[in-house]
Amino acid sequence: MAGENALIFEDPDQIAYEASRWIGTPYRHQASLRGVGCDCLGLLRGVWRALLGPEPEQPGPYTPDWSEPSREERLLAAARRRLIQVDPESAVKAGEVLLFRMRRDAPAKHLGICIDPHVMVHAHSRLGVVDAGLDRAWRRRLAARFHFPAPASLRRS
Domains of the chain with bracketed CATH? 12-156 (3.90.1720.10)
In this prediction, what percent of the chain has a pLDDT beyond 70? Answer: 90
- Asked if 121 contacts 129 with a C-beta cutoff of 8 angstroms, the reply is yes
User: Is pLDDT above 50 for 151?
Assistant: yes
pLDDT band at 72 (very low <50, low <70, confident <90, very high): confident
d(CA 114, CA 80): 18
Tell me the average pLDDT across 59-84.
83
Structure confidence at residue 1 (pLDDT): 47
DSSP state of 2: -
Name the phi and psi angles at 76, rounded to 5.
-65, -40
Structure confidence at residue 150 (pLDDT): 92
Structure confidence at residue 157 (pLDDT): 47
User: Among 43, 145, 34, 132, which residue's Cα sits nearest to residue 85?
Assistant: 145
Angle at 74 between CA 72 and CA 75, to 5 degrees: 130
User: Is pLDDT above 80 for 152?
Assistant: no
Residue type for 126, please? R
SS3 113: strand
User: Among 66, 84, 82, which residue's Cα sits nearest to residue 74?
Assistant: 66
